[in-house]
Each structure stands twice: as structure tokens, then as C-alpha cells.
A and B are shown apart, each in its own frame.
Chain A
Amino acid sequence: AQRVTQPEKLLSVFKGAPVELKCNYSYSGSPELFWYVQYSRQRLQLLLRHISRESIKGFTADLNKGETSFHLKKPFAQEEDSAMYYCAPSWGKLQFGAGTQVVVTP
């Protein structure tokens, strides 16, 4: 069965520190890979997708096909990065990991 795992439920980091959110998926094929973010009182929205190979708000995501991981990273966390982050490999219908709450403290 297709599964996506975000092992950290909560990440608390200081402003300016690096942050890495882990995502592992299990599937024999090659899903489309996304990270979505939900800021307080805002709707869930796309942060970035692997195929674009882009950096959004300083975040990048590295695909490791061997480890089937798609970790999200930012070298210097900002307070406005406090949010809920969801990894979403798409094998067709859209599925999400359990989410990681990021809290950036000054």
C-alpha cells in the first residue's frame, strides 16, 4: 500500500536556525511530490513541488529516490515560517502525511 510518513509531529526551532522536515514515502513507482503549508487562519496552499525544482520562501526539497524521501529544508528559519507543513506524494488521488507543526521562536 502507498504510505507517506512525516515522523515529526512538532518541530520547535529558534529564528535563524536551520529547519528540516522529514518525509518518507513507500511506493514502487515515481509519484509527483509536493509540500503544502497551512498558516494560521489561512487555507492550505502549495509550498513547492519537486518537478519545478524551485525554492519558495527559502525552502527547498530534496528528492532521494533510493531512500524514497522528500525532505523539506530551510537554512535560516523565520518567525513567519511557523505553520503546519504537509508532505503530499501524489499517486493519482491526493494523499497527505500526518503533518509537521513548525514553531519558530525569536
Chain B
Amino acid sequence: EADIYQTPRYLVIGTGKKITLECSQTMGHDKMYWYQQDPGMELHLIHYSYGVNSTEKGDLSSESTVSRIRTEHFPLTLESARPSHTSQYLCASTEEWGHRAFFGQGTRLTVV
């Protein structure tokens, strides 16, 4: 079934650890996005991708990095997690700019 998947759903990790949040979509979409969202709050775009080997930083500065080696896969990495990174991270994709977005279920990250 065409969908967008995020793993893990929940992650509690210690300060200083390296983590990778996974996002995969099976819809063949070129455009993918990462948002940071605190519960019930605004979505902040932190990274987006035009397609394979193309990534850009979003409006909110983030210490995370992303890669896009395959169309379907857009992982987000934090080299050294800190408590300030505690948040929910949402992944999304669109077929084209200006098209409707499909969202993953999110990863709730807690850094202790």
C-alpha cells in the first residue's frame, strides 16, 4: 500500500548519542520534507529535498542533517543529541511543489 513510514515512533536516548530517524515513502514522490513540531504547536520546516542527491535547509535552523540517496528514503541524523532536540519530527512528501502532502506518523524524540 502506498504510504509514508517513519521509524521509530518513540525514542528516548541519552545526551551525546548519535541518532538517525528513518522516513520512507512508497509513492514515488520526488519532494520530501522534515518538520519539527512541539505538541499542539507550529510546524517548522527544517529540511527538504527536491529529489535524489538534492537537499536544502528549511526555515528553522537545525543541527540535524539529511541525505537523499534513494527516492524513497530521506533519513534525518543528529550526530550528538541534546535535550534541546526533544521534540516531534514529522516527515512528509509531495508529488510536486504545490501538491497535497502526505505525512508520516511522526517520531517523538526525548533526549535525557
Contacts and interface: CB of A to CB of B under 8 A. Distances in A.
Interface of A: 31-32, 34, 36, 43-46, 49, 84, 86, 88, 90-99, 101
Q: Is the interface of B mostly helix, strand, loop or mixed?
A: loop
Nearest to B59: A95
Taking each of B31, B59, B101, B106, which has the highest tally of chain A beta carbons within 10 Å of its own beta carbon?
Answer: B101
Contacts of A99: 40-43
Contacts of B41: 98-99
A43 B103 CA distance: 7
Interface stretch (B20-28, B78-86, B89-97): B89-97
Nearest to A31: B98
Nearest to B50: A93
Contact of B100 (A43, A46, A98, A101): A46
Interface of B: 31, 33, 35, 40-43, 45, 48, 58-59, 90, 92, 94, 97-101, 103-106
Most buried by B among A32, A44, A90, A99: A44
Contact of A93 (B42, B97, B104): B97
A92 B98 contact: yes
Contacts of A97: 42
A29 B51 CA distance: 25
B60 to A, nearest CB: 11
14 contacts: A31-B98, A34-B101, A44-B103, A46-B100, A86-B43, A93-B48, A94-B92, A94-B101, A95-B45, A98-B42, A99-B40, A99-B41, A99-B42, A101-B40
Given A93-B33, A96-B42, A98-B42, A43 B101 contact: no
Given A43-B106, A86-B43, A94-B33, A34 B59 contact: no
